[in-house]
């Protein structure tokens, strides 16, 4: 990303930490005119920054907007990854955009984040409602040295990082529904993960980790059938939730787990998923290529697959794909 | 593919099987002018078709060029697949072109075939020399209902089909070097397979099966270091080999195995690969993420991975990726 005058002025104000900076001083530091400083301040205000101006004292950053601009998301972000944030007001699908960038050679760590997706997607080509300003709609470009078979655990890792960020930032008992949903304990959906890849048979070229989190929707923002299955952090907490700290937390949690998995394998993060997975131990309805069937979800395999013991069967089935919904135990018992 | 007047005239001539057809008759059948027939005949001659013209008898197809035009490749092609052939004189990479088509929604069965690739690729981004007219450079779009982990055996299936076609059309004892090379028993490379995919974590969107076969190169067509490792069918047989029958045979062999694998799994085709794999039973040098090591290649797993027993180790290693080269046994033993 090019550092524009606007970004540089913003960085100065952020660094001043709420103290006043004179326009003259900023102009001198950046080697630009005072008029250019004033223009940048105006543009920043238009983007939602609250900047006080007091004669003879200068400018002061009073408040930043809760919008996932690169400057906000990346500010002092810890962690080993070289994140880049590409902020877009509106996009058809952040996954498609990130994939396009990846195919053009974008490096690992690019985050495409949009206020709105007009054609947001979930698994299996389902649509994902992504209204402007109300959620985190973003996609990360990763380039892990993995085989395609290892991308399923990477998806679970992404879900684990998002779940941890949700829990840390809101205190909600967020959980994972295998393989890719972020839910409340009652199963209402807070968000989801969509992992896509470009790969050779034995080696991944890139992975796109798409993350959608319902943050500030109100009840009326979930039309029709969604109202029965989806919720938002705001609805669960009864107050609006700032998006930028949540996204920052998510990137930090993700980077930590990603580095650990590449160094030591997916064992620890799969244990974390086991501890927070509402699917395990439950009766489930499975739909994969055709006829649905019922069984009990026993465990995750080392590959991230779901081990399900079908009703009236002696041997469990290893499930790599498919729709799994949680059902009451048959006959009320186990 | 749109059926042009040229294609329709060609189809008439092909159907006549070497008999004469009058221009008047063809014009009437197709509802076009005699002048349009003459123009199409001229264009077909320019594409390499030998078409005799005798006054009062008409036109006769005496010979077709050995070029992988759709009309040649697809003529009376048996097999259950709805193949489509997209012929290109030159392209950077048939895999890239096929991927672009797949992302735009191209159906399963599209074959992108080029006379020449200017940026042909092998595994791991290596270049693949694809001089004009001398080989089969093609990429197939497949849309199998598989998980990404099942694409490795699909690559072996493609190699098995190509190997069978080479053996059937030339009588050469073609073999497979795990995972994707087509070789002679001495290890000289006749061709290779490059499998790429677009996928979700648990489901394939499309697979691109790229196939490159060195057909009619002469010694001087393999520059520098390639001369020591590569060969062509022509060099192995001492005569030029027509490309169109080979490509047709390959598509038929591939369709048969693909249908069988989707219906019954990869077991039988993995057995076929075992029977024709020069890697198995050999001492190999393995290079995967860093330090090379040596061992003995024991078998293929049900996933298509290579089971290698490292020198001085008790437990075999399952290899999903990496470069495996065949070496003489250490100390001249075994």
Secondary structure, 3-state, A5-61: HHHHHHHHHHHHCCCCECHHHHHHHHCCCHHHHHHHHHHHHHCCCEEEEECCCEEEE
Assign B3 a pLDDT band (cuts: 50, 70, 90): low
Task: Tokens for B238, please give them.
Answer: 């001492």
Give Cα separations from B225 to A26, A146, B229, B230 (angstroms). Answer: 60, 30, 7, 9
pLDDT confidence of residue B2:
40
Q: What is the DSSP letter of A125?
A: G
Closest CA to A257 of A140, A138, A132, A96: A140
pLDDT confidence of residue B76:
75
Probe site for chain A from B200, B207, B266, B324 (most A CB atoms < 10 A):
B200
Give Cα separations from A39 to A13, A48, A54, A243 (angstroms). Answer: 15, 15, 16, 28
Task: Tokens for A199, please give them.
Answer: 């790969």
Of B149, B154, B179, the CB nearest to A320: B149
pLDDT confidence of residue B71:
81
Mean pLDDT by 10 residues, chain A (334 residues): 76 90 92 92 93 93 90 75 87 96 93 93 84 94 92 96 97 96 95 96 94 95 89 96 93 92 94 97 88 94 94 91 85 54
> Cβ B199–A201 below 8 Å, yes or no?
no
Nearest C-alpha in B relative to A154:
B201
* Closest approach of B52 to chain A, Cα-based (Å): 48
Q: Concatenated DSSP letters for B251-267? A: HHHHHHHHHHHHHH-SH
Q: Across chain B, what does the average pLDDT equal?
A: 91
Enumerate the residues of chain B whose CB falls inside 8 A of the CB of residue A194: 200
Residues of chain B with pLDDT > 90, as a percent, come to 76
DSSP E strand boundaries for A31-149: 50-54, 58-63, 84-91, 110-117, 135-142
Residue B220's Cβ-count burial label (10 Å; 0-12, 13-18, 19+) is exposed
Q: pLDDT per residue over B17-50, tens digit each? A: 889 999 999 999 999 999 999 999 999 999 999 9
Assign B81 a pLDDT band (cuts: 50, 70, 90): low
Which chain B residues touch A if contact means CB-CB below 8 Å?
A: 123-124, 145, 147-149, 151-152, 154-155, 179-180, 194-203, 205, 289, 303, 320-322
Residues of chain B with pLDDT > 70, as a percent, come to 96
Nearest C-alpha in B relative to A149:
B149
Q: pLDDT per residue over B92-151, tens digit each? A: 999 999 999 999 999 999 999 999 999 988 887 788 889 999 999 999 999 999 999 999
Task: Tokens for B189, please give them.
Answer: 């490379």
Assign B70 a pLDDT band (cuts: 50, 70, 90): confident
ipTM: 0.79
For B45-62, b/e burial (b = at least 16 CB within 10 A) is eeeebebeeeeeebbbbe
pLDDT confidence of residue A122:
84
First to last CA, chain B: 55
> Cβ A149–B198 below 8 Å, yes or no?
no
pLDDT confidence of residue A71:
81
Of A154, A197, A202, the CB nearest to B199: A197
State the Cα–Cα distance between residues A148 and B149, nearest whole angstrom: 6
Give rounded-to-5 percent helix, strand, coil for chain A.
Answer: 35, 30, 35
> Cβ A197–B201 below 8 Å, yes or no?
yes
State the Cα–Cα distance between residues A117 and A130, nearest whole angstrom: 5
Q: What is the DSSP letter of A150?
A: G
Cis omega before residue A179 (within 30°)?
Answer: yes
**Could you tell me the domains of chain B?**
5-63 (1.10.10.10), 70-275 (3.30.930.10), 283-332 (2.30.30.100)
pLDDT confidence of residue B243:
93
> Cβ B202–A321 below 8 Å, yes or no?
yes
Give rounded-to-5 percent helix, strand, coil for chain B.
Answer: 35, 30, 35
B80: left (phi over 0), alpha (psi -120 to 50) or beta: alpha
Task: Identify the three-state secondary structure at position B27.
Answer: helix
pLDDT confidence of residue B332:
56
pLDDT confidence of residue B311:
92
pLDDT confidence of residue B181:
95
pLDDT confidence of residue B224:
85
Residue B166 CB contacts under 8 Å (≥ 6 apart), including other chains: B172, B174, B182, B190, B191, B213, B233, B246
CB B325 within 8 A of CB B278: no
CB A97 within 8 A of CB A112: yes
State the Cα–Cα distance between residues A138 and A85, nearest whole angstrom: 10
* Residue B237 confidence (pLDDT) above 80: yes
* Residue B162 confidence (pLDDT) above 60: yes
Give Cα separations from B34 to B37, B42, B58, B61, B104 (angstroms). Answer: 5, 12, 11, 17, 39
Assign B80 a pLDDT band (cuts: 50, 70, 90): low
Q: Which residue has 């990726």 as its token pair?
A: B321
> Cβ B202–A179 below 8 Å, yes or no?
yes
CB B68 within 8 A of CB B85: yes
Average pLDDT over residues B67-82: 77
pLDDT confidence of residue B1:
32
> Cβ B148–A151 below 8 Å, yes or no?
yes
Of A149, A179, A289, the CB nearest to B149: A149
In chain B, what is the greatest distance between 2 CA atoms, to the nearest angstrom?
A: 81
Stated as kind and residue range, the H or E segment containing B210 is strand B204-214
Q: pLDDT per residue over B249-276, tens digit each? A: 999 999 999 989 998 999 999 999 999 9
Nearest C-alpha in B relative to A198:
B198
Residue A185 CB contacts under 8 Å (≥ 6 apart), including other chains: A173, A175, A278
Closest CA to B197 of A55, A207, A13, A235: A207
CB A178 within 8 A of CB A163: no
- Higher confidence at residue B160 or residue A30? B160
> Cβ A201–B147 below 8 Å, yes or no?
no
Closest CA to B182 of B130, B238, B232, B115: B232
């Amino acid at each position: 990303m090019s550092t524009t005058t606007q970004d540089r002025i913003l960085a100065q104000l952020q660094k001043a930490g709420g103290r006043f900076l004179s326009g003259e001083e900023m102009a001198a530091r950046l080697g630009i005119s005072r008029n250019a400083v004033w223009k940048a301040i105006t543009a920043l205000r238009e983007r939602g920054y609250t900047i006080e101006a007091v004669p003879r004292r200068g400018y002061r950053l009073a408040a930043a907007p809760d919008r996932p601009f690169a400057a906000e998301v990346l500010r002092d972000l810890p962690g080993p990854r070289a994140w880049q944030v590409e902020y877009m007001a509106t996009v058809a699908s952040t996954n498609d955009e990130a994939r396009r960038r990846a195919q053009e050679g974008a490096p690992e760590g690019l985050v495409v984040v949009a206020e709105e997706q007009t054609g947001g997607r979930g698994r299996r080509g389902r649509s994902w409602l992504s209204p402007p300003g109300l959620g985190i709609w973003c996609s990360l470009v990763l380039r892990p040295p993995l085989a395609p078979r290892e991308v399923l655990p990477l998806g679970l890792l992404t879900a684990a990082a998002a779940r941890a960020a949700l829990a840390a930032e809101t205190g909600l008992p967020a959980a994972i529904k295998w393989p890719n949903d972020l839910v409340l304990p009652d199963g209402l959906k807070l968000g989801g993960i969509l992992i896509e890849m470009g790969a050779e048979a034995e080696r991944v070229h890139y992975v796109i980790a798409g993350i959608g989190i319902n943050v500030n929707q109100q009840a009326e923002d979930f039309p029709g059938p969604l109202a029965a299955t989806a919720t938002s952090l705001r609805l669960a907490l009864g107050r609006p939730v700032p998006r930028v700290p949540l996204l920052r937390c998510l990137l930090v949690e993700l980077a930590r787990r990603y580095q650990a998995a590449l160094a030591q394998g997916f064992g620890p993060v799969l244990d974390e998923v086991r501890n927070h997975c509402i699917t395990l131990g439950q009766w489930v309805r499975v739909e994969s290529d055709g006829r649905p069937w019922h069984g009990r979800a026993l465990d995750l395999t080392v590959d991230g697959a779901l081990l399900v013991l079908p009703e009236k069967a002696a041997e469990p089935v290893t499930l790599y794909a498919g729709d799994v919904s949680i059902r009451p135990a048959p006959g009320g018992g186990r």
